Amino acid sequence: MNIYILAFALITGFISHSVNATLIDDFTDGSMHLVADTFDIYQSSSSAFGGGRTVSITKQGYNAKADIIAPRGFYAHSSNVRSSASSTISWSSSVAVDLTENLNNNTFTLDIYSNDLKNSDFILSVSDNAKNKASYTLFKAGEGIQNIMFSSFTGIDFQQINDISLQIVGGLEADLVISSLSTTTSSISAVPTPTALILFSSSLVILSLSRRKQ
Amino acid sequence: MNKYILVFSLLAMITSNIAHAAMIDDFTEESMNIRVDYPPLSGSDTASTITNTSAFGGGRTISISKSGPLSASANVIAPPGIYAHSADALTSATSTISWHSDIGIDLIEGRTTTNFALDILSIDQGNIDFILSVTDVFNNTDSYSLLEAGTGIQFIALSLFSSTIDFLQVTDISLRIVGGEASDLTLNSISTVPTPSVLVLLSMGLVAFRLNRRISV
């Protein structure tokens, strides 16, 4: 019996990170290459929300571009010297999608892989089936996982989402890379955090050892 | 008489930075644009081009190579007269500007010039090395590296190069820019100039001489 408890605890600890995550785009298919100023190039992508994405870029200064390097799985926003750019990735679905996955998810997760000057703002916008639209701005975000709670958007039905867009308002000479955008469950929800799960698993192991001694 | 000395000394100090300056290149002529893209359009991660200008030797060649998944570019933007080295995220690049003259050129202009002056307009991240190389008519060559340089005018004394270099007969100059990941920078010019400190000392000496004369009188 103790072996079963131990196995359950360890498996719970290992798989809990991926539970309930919904991928919007991980840029692993549908390579794109845009040089500013270019608009509305749709590229189908089996892994992206709605089956494809549209990217646009505008610049001030000399040159800028936006790339999706599918073999590497990232989106790159690049601006040359004395240049700044604003690029937008948008996803659209003809049928409304439940981003909460039966009320399990409550957070967007933006994975910023690299960001050289950290002088860019990220504006995430969503619109639902009733045409309600709201945005949230992540100012001067750095590298790493950036969480944006659904509650940061007002009046949106996250169980019926049709459109998502991410606008990157890049600072001067900003070069940055995004790995993915997804939804997940935040740490303040009913789902345990990884730390809590480790503690929980540890207590089960201790309980198991304690019962064995008795 | 003393007034003239004072005025002369002040003018000398103010104008001395440009007096005797020999411009190697100020990038005000002939725009150039090379880039190595993802995916590489030519199947190569290097590119180069050459053009004729009034720069040292009558022309310049620029080349660039990169490592990493994205693009890098080297541009001469004339006007306004800048050289730009740009690398995208996750990508680093090395670009080289080289100037060649078929005949030996006197860079020290009657031994008044003692420095190269590299005018760096901008560096976004600070992970850039500059390697300046010179070759004389006898094929003696030497290099000096300016590591992690900042913006502003960077002076590189001619004395930092091997004594075998004959700066009276220079045929080749090259500036290699070894940029770190996602580095972007611009250069304004490269030239040869007198040492600023020597000129300040000279000017101060003249002022002191003038004051001394006044006290004596």
pLDDT tens for each residue of B71-115 = 999 999 988 899 999 999 999 999 999 999 999 999 987 667 789
B95–chain A Cβ distance below 8 A for any pair:
no
CATH number of the structural domain spanning residue A168: 2.60.120
Q: Which residues of A touch B71 (CB under 8 A)?
A: 65, 67, 78
**Residue A42 φ then ψ, to 5°:** -85, 135
Closest CA of chain A from B177, distance in Å: 15
Number of independent structural domains in chain A: 1
Indicate the length of chain A as a whole number.
214
B175: closest CA among B113, B104, B119? B119
Q: Which residues of B touch A33 (CB under 8 A)?
A: 37-38
Count CB-CB contacts under 10 A for residue A8. 12
A125's tokens? 């916008």
pLDDT in tens, chain A (214 residues): 556 655 555 555 444 444 467 899 999 999 998 988 877 788 888 889 999 999 999 999 988 999 999 988 999 999 999 899 999 999 999 999 999 999 999 999 999 999 999 999 999 999 999 999 999 999 999 999 999 999 999 999 999 999 999 999 999 999 999 999 999 987 554 444 455 556 656 667 777 777 776 6
Q: Which residues of B touch A69 (CB under 8 A)?
A: 38, 69-70
B6 SS3 class: helix
DSSP assignment, residue B71? -
A52: closest CA among A169, A134, A184, A164? A164
DSSP assignment, residue B13? H
- What distances in angstroms separate CA B198 from CA A124, B19, B202, one per listed residue? 58, 13, 6
Q: Which residues contact B136 (CB under 8 A, 6 or more apart)?
A: B104, B165, B166, B167, B169, B170, B171
pLDDT at B4 exceeding the cut of 90: no
Residue in A closest to B83 by C-alpha:
A81
Q: Is residue A97 included in any domain, yes or no?
A: yes
Interatomic CA distance for residues B22 and B56, integer angstroms:
9
> B interface mutation test: which of A28, A74, A112, A116 has the most B CBs within 10 A?
A116
Q: Do A81 and B185 touch (CB under 8 A)?
A: yes
CA quadruple B47, B52, B54, B59: dihedral sign: positive
Q: Do B89 and A114 touch (CB under 8 A)?
A: yes
> DSSP letters along chain A, please?
-HHHHHHHHHHHHHHGGGTT-EEEE---S--EEEESSEEEEEEE-TTSGGGEEEEEEEEESS-EEEEEETTTTEEEEEE-TT-EEEEEEEEEEEEEE-TTTTTT--EEEEEEEEESS---EEEEEEEETT--EEEEEETT--SEEEEEEGGGSSS--TTSEEEEEEEEE--TT-EEEEEEEEEE--TTSSSPPHHHHHHHHHHHHHHHHHHHH-
Q: Say if residues B135 and B171 touch (Cβ distance below 8 Å).
A: yes
Q: Do B77 and A116 touch (CB under 8 A)?
A: no
Q: Which residues of B touch A117 (CB under 8 A)?
A: 124-125
Residue in A closest to B68 by C-alpha:
A72
Q: Is residue A94 included in any domain, yes or no?
A: yes
State the Cα torsion B4-B7-B11-B14 to the nearest 10°: 160
Find the domain containing A28 and state its range. Answer: 21-185
Q: From the list A63, A82, A175, which residue is nearest B89 (CB)?
A: A175
Q: Name the CATH architecture for the domain at B23-189.
A: Sandwich (2.60)
pTM over 0.95: no
Which range (A108-112, B179-183, B190-194) has the least confidence?
B190-194
- What distances in angstroms separate CA B209 from CA B3, B130, B214, B217, one per listed residue? 12, 41, 9, 12
